[in-house]
Amino acid sequence: MQFSAVVTKGEKYYVSHCPELDIASQGESVEEALDNLKEAIELYIEDEEAEVPKQGFKPLVTLVEVGEVEGAGSVRA
């Protein structure tokens, strides 16, 4: 089975997220974050009550460019 993984850099750790299952994990490196996510997914799927979506369309992860926005770069709370 294949699932999507999105990795972002937090303040201290890399955060990995599987959008199909809404599962997240983290690690000190990208590789560790992905390994931890893989383990979390495997544990989730082992649960007899887990709802695993049919393999088909994968989430589309892309970039969207916008023009300059007033206040851009300010820290949001």
DSSP line for 2-68: ----EEEE-SSSEEEEETTTTEEEEESSHHHHHHHHHHHHHHHHHSTT--PPPS-PPPP--------
Q: How far apart are CA 26 and CA 67, in angstroms?
A: 32
What pLDDT, on a 0 to 100 scale, did the predictor assign at position 74? 57
What pLDDT, on a 0 to 100 scale, did the predictor assign at position 75? 55
What pLDDT, on a 0 to 100 scale, did the predictor assign at position 62? 83
Any idea which fold 1-70 has? Double Stranded RNA Binding Domain (3.30.160)
Mean pLDDT by 10 residues, the chain (77 residues): 92 95 96 98 86 76 86 60
pTM above 0.85, yes or no: no
Q: How far apart are CA 5 and CA 19, in angstroms?
A: 7
